Chains A and B, each alone.
Chain A
Amino acid sequence: MKFTNEDVQEILQLLDATKYDELHLETGRFKLTLRRNRGGGDWTQETQVLSAPNIVNSPAGAPVAVNVGATSTAHSTTPGDLRKAGWLEVRAHLPGTFYRAPKPGAPPFVEIGGRVEEETVVGIIETMKLMNAVHAQTRGEVVEICFENAQFVEKDAVLIRIKPVAA
């Protein structure tokens, strides 16, 4: 027996005829809260499926170890001396897959030693199927690229370091 939207509708019809403004129901499998808004009489619901997933072994045996978290540790070891040297960091404004080139097979946007302007695109982050350009935001020379192409990056991860160059 599963709990359905029709069940919620029937409970609501019962509740509508009462003076109660709230119903809280919890079983091993789900949690349901129905609340009547003050004044309006509109109801809201919050449901939560509590039953644990029943995961069967995939053909190759146990699920493969998660490899998407293979983010470089480069950004977590930001050495103070780099900052002192005046290098600037380009960080990920979103979590996602970092691409160094506009499309597979194409040359990378930037290489170490390359010169960039504020508006230069230095990479792309794919988040939720959308491609988001990453701009250098500073004028200078690329001194470090912290991720490989197509690696997953967390939000605020340092992607690239740039040594500023005066105009």
Chain B
Amino acid sequence: MTLRRILIANRGEIAVRVIRTCQRLGIETVLAASEADLDSMGARLADRTICIGPANSSASYLNIEAVVTAAVTTKADAIHPGYGFLSENPKLAEACNHAGVIFIGPTVDQLDAVGDKLKARGHAGAAGLAGVPGGEVRSLDEAHRLATEIGWPILIKAVGGGGGRGMKQVHEAANLAAAMEMAMAEAQASFGDPRLYIERYISHGRHIEVQILGDGEEVIHLGTRDCSIQRRYQKLVEEAPAPNISETLREEMHRAAVAFARHLKYRGLGTVELLVDCDRDTFYFLEMNARIQVEHPVTEVICGLDLVEEQIAIAEGRKLRWKQHDITFFGHAIECRINAEDWTQDFRPSPGTVRRAIFPAGQGIRVDTHIQAGTTVPPYYDSLLGKLIVHGADRAEALHKLRRDLSNLEIPGVATNLAMHAELMHNAEFARGGVNTAFLQRFLENRNIEAA
């Protein structure tokens, strides 16, 4: 069926991003907003806005009943969940099915299969994509045995979810018991599921992911993204394609991600996250994200597709419009996440009111944001103010443009991490390309030493 009205159950830049595509396609938009967001840019752009509850996200953006009721009340054909919040919650997909509303995303079973990190590892293995050596541990003894078998150091992870919560690095057996206990408490508190698994800790790893798109039968890939610039497992810079890897390895990653999604008969847009072991020139399955991601624009600009439009087409029950050989890539794209955090004060969050929002404009520049003069940045949600995405004919050109464009960006009123991005883009090691996930911490520490 053709979707005529979509309820957007999200906020911030992604709500604005989804609304813009809907407008271009002639689809009516209803924004489901919390009380704190009734005056947001998304609310101003949407055809209609419906309040789904108080500012606190557990009472609004995480409230399945409120979201589905809002869709039914406004007679929306479908719900676009954006990222975060309920976007990968099988219960929302199920509630949509019951209410006769289309959930723009994969099936309930697929959300379930990739949401449980152990099940996802199992499926990846069955599709020939190995996870990082490790497995579930039900007791301290079991953890000891497995850690000895796969070798120290290890990483403890929560079965129930990702995002760094419940994750602990352990370098020696003596610290295992305490780390397991903490991880279990965090996993229980964050996901309501205390189960843990352990993996070999790969110190020289790069975080590279493959964007895939499926219609329930056919699956294609839209290339790689490198997301190794992270702080506490939160991504800050992403680029496409992943730089400085052999074309053989890249092709293998594409093939593995497509095989995994085919194995699931995956329907919708998804990302297969891989950890590339630079020491061994091989890669492992980390997890799959069954939604649109923050960093999707770098893929869009190099392959010329609108991924929200593709999500909508698949939700309408259409077959993939593209064959793999239709997908071509041009140039290189880099994205900087601009956050309201004071990077000189250990990245302390900085809510407040934006006085002005000045962004660079021109060829090869894209800004995805919900920020304008007068916007309130509330303390209830994440600190993302927007994303600057720059496209160049190659990586060197993209980097060169990015340095200039960052200097043309000003958001007075709140503290931001803009200056960090500017320094990072001038860093020689980053400029060479292909840094691993340990790089950013080292960059920040060296900077502190120089400043001291």
Contact residues of A with B, CB < 8 Å?
Answer: 2, 4-5, 8-9, 12, 34, 37, 40, 42-59, 63-64, 66-68, 94-97, 103-104, 127-130, 132
Contacts and interface: CB of A to CB of B under 8 A. Distances in A.
B411 to A, nearest CB: 11
A103 B366 CA distance: 41
B51 A68 contact: no
Interface in B32-86: 35-36, 38-41, 43-56, 69-70, 73-74
Nearest to A6: B24
A57 B351 CA distance: 28
Interface stretch (B120-128, B146-154, B286-294, B357-365): B357-365
B143 to A, nearest CB: 23
Contacts of B366: 5
Contacts of B169: none
A63 B361 contact: no
Contact of B55 (A51, A68, A94, A128): A68
Given A44-B360, A94-B348, A64 B54 contact: yes
B357 A56 contact: no
A12 B50 contact: no
Contacts of B381: 128-129
B407 to A, nearest CB: 8
Contacts of A97: 56, 379-380
B74 A56 contact: yes
Interface of B: 20, 23-24, 30, 35-36, 38-41, 43-56, 69-70, 73-74, 185, 189, 340-341, 348-349, 351, 356-363, 366, 372-374, 379-383, 404-405, 408-409
B361 A49 contact: no
A8 B365 CA distance: 11
B69 A46 contact: no
A4 B24 contact: yes
28 contacts: A2-B23, A4-B20, A12-B361, A37-B408, A42-B362, A42-B405, A44-B359, A45-B361, A48-B372, A50-B44, A51-B45, A53-B38, A53-B43, A53-B44, A56-B30, A56-B49, A56-B73, A58-B52, A66-B35, A94-B349, A95-B379, A103-B185, A127-B379, A128-B351, A128-B380, A128-B382, A129-B381, A129-B382
Nearest to B351: A95
A49 B51 contact: no
Contacts, number: 131
B49 A53 contact: yes
B373 A44 contact: no
B349 A58 contact: no
A43 B364 CA distance: 12
Contact of A54 (B24, B48, B357, B360): B48
Contacts of A132: 348-349
A59 B32 CA distance: 12
A33 B408 CA distance: 14
B356 A128 contact: no
Contacts of A63: 35, 38, 51
Contacts of A127: 349, 351, 379
The winner among A46, A51, A64 for most chain B CB atoms within 10 A is: A46
Contacts of A103: 185, 189
B372 A49 contact: yes
Contacts of A37: 408
Contacts of B362: 9, 12, 42-43
Nearest to B186: A103
Nearest to A58: B51
Contacts of B374: 48
A69 B3 CA distance: 38
B383 A128 contact: yes
A53 B372 contact: no
Contacts of A4: 20, 24
A44 B359 CA distance: 5
B373 A54 contact: no
Contacts of B55: 66, 68
B349 A130 contact: yes
A8 B361 contact: yes
A6 B360 CA distance: 14
A42 B408 contact: yes
A49 B48 contact: no
A129 to B, nearest CB: 5
A30 to B, nearest CB: 9
Contact of B361 (A34, A50, A55, A94): A34
Given A55-B49, A59-B70, A128-B383, A68 B54 contact: yes
Nearest to A129: B382
A42 B363 CA distance: 10
Contacts of B405: 42
A49 B44 contact: yes
A47 B379 CA distance: 24
A44 B49 contact: no
Contact of A44 (B44, B48, B351, B361): B361
Given A63-B51, A66-B35, A128-B382, A58 B358 contact: no
A16 to B, nearest CB: 9
Contacts of A44: 358-361, 408-409
Contacts of A51: 44-45
Contacts of B341: 128
B39 A53 contact: yes
